Amino acid sequence: MEDVQFWTCDCFTEDNIFLKDYKLHVNFVSEVQFRLDYEAILRRLGCVKEQQFKDVLNEISQEVDRRRHLSETSVRRAAAIKDEYQPLHPHVYHLQESYLAPKFKQIVEYCRSVDTSIEGLLDLVVEEAATRVYRFPVFEKGFCEELLEELEHFEQSSSPKGRPNTMNQYGILLNEMGFDKDFITPFREHYMSPLTSLLYPDCGGRCLDSHKAFAVKYDLNEDLDLSYHYDNAEVTLNVSLGKDFTEGNLYFGDMRQVPLGETECSEVKHVVTEGLLHRGQHMHGALPISSGQRWNLIIWMRASQERNKLCPMCNRRPTLVEGDGFADGFTKQNCSVSP
C-alpha cells in the first residue's frame, strides 16, 4: 500500500475537540457558533465566569492551530527522532514471531485456514459481556517488558514528542518513533487482518489498509482515566503492556448513535499481554487506576472503503485535505478534495 496516498477529512481541524476540564467534546467553527452551541452546557458544567470561558476559547484556539499544522510538525518530529534518538532495544522495532503469544499464533493460523468459520474462531477467543468485544493473548511477557523499557527510555530522552490526541496527554505516537514500517504494518496485514475479516466483515474488517498506532500511559500523577468516547477507526486493538496497576478497567456502552442515558455499560478488565478487539464506533472509556502505572498499545485500524463513504468523525461524506503517511485513512475514491 506504499504507493497509495492517504488523506484527512477537513472536519479534523474543527470537530471533536476534547475539553478535558469539562469532559466534553465540542465542535468549533466560530466564537458565535460556539457560544450558541455550548455556552449553556459549559455553565452547567461549572464554566460560569467569563474568564473561564475565555480560557476555553484559548484552549480551543491552540488545539485548532495544532491540528492545522499537525502533518508538518509530525514530519519534523519524526526526522529529529531519527537523527537524535538512540534506541535502547533496537530489535523491538522489527516484528518477530517470537514476540507473539503461542495462543495468538494459533488463532491467526486458524483464521488463515481453508475451513475457517466464525463459530470456530469464537471457540478460540473470549467474548466479553460487551457485545462483539473479544479478548485473546497477543504478546509474550518478555516482549511487553522490553517494549515498555523502550517507550520509557524514549519518554526520558530529549527527543521531541507528539501526543496521540486531546484525550491522552501522556502517550507516544509510534509512527514518529519508527515503528510503522517493520512492526505495525506487517502486524496489521499478516496477523490482525485474518481475525478482523472474520469478526467484523460488516465494518471494514476485510479491507483494512491503514492504521494509527500509539501507546498511552495512565499514572496517579498524570492521566488517571479516559472519558467516554469512540475511536477514529473501523476496528481497534487495545493491548495491555503493563506495568503493575490496580483498577482502571475499560467500560463499553453501545454504538455511538445510542445516547449514554439509554445504555447499560459493561466493564472489561485489562490483563497484561492480552488484547481487546472492538469496533471503533463502539463507545467506551477507562475507569481511574487506583495505584501503579498502566501502559497500553492502541492500534486504530482503518478501512478506506468504509470511511470514504462516510467520515466516522463528522458523519458526512469526507472532504479531503492532504496528510502525511497514513493520515486519517481516507483515499480519493468516492471523496471530494478540498480546494
| Domain containing residue 207: CATH number | 2.60.120.620
SS3 state of residue 96: coil
Predicted pLDDT of residue 1? 44
The answer to whether 56 and 66 are in contact (CB under 8 A) is no
Report yes or no on 283 lying in a domain: yes
Claim: this prediction has a pTM higher than 0.75: yes
Quote the percentage of the chain above a pLDDT of 90.
81
Report yes or no on 248 lying in a domain: yes
CA-wise closest residue to 173 among 241, 75, 250, 88: 75
Report phi then psi at 117, rounded to 5.
-155, 155
How many domains does the chain fold into?
Answer: 1
pLDDT higher than threshold 90 for residue 145: yes
Domain span at residue 160 reads 94-301
Grid cell digits, residue 101:
503469544
pLDDT tens-digit readout, 94-140: 999 999 999 999 999 999 999 999 999 999 999 999 999 999 999 99
Give the pLDDT band (50/70/90) at residue 201: very high
Among 62-76, 184-198, 213-227, top mean pLDDT goes to: 184-198
Grid cell digits, residue 163:
501526543
Report yes or no on 44 lying in a domain: no
Beta strands in the chain (DSSP E): 7-9, 17-19, 24-26, 126-127, 134-137, 171-173, 210-219, 226-229, 235-242, 245-247, 250-255, 266-268, 274-279, 282-286, 289-302, 319-322, 336-337
Report yes or no on 11 lying in a domain: no
Predicted pLDDT of residue 339? 56
Report yes or no on 338 lying in a domain: no
Order of all β-strands in the sheet with 319-322: 7-9, 319-322, 336-337
Predicted pLDDT of residue 154? 97
Report yes or no on 8 lying in a domain: no
Predicted pLDDT of residue 332? 87
Report yes or no on 74 lying in a domain: no
Report yes or no on 274 lying in a domain: yes
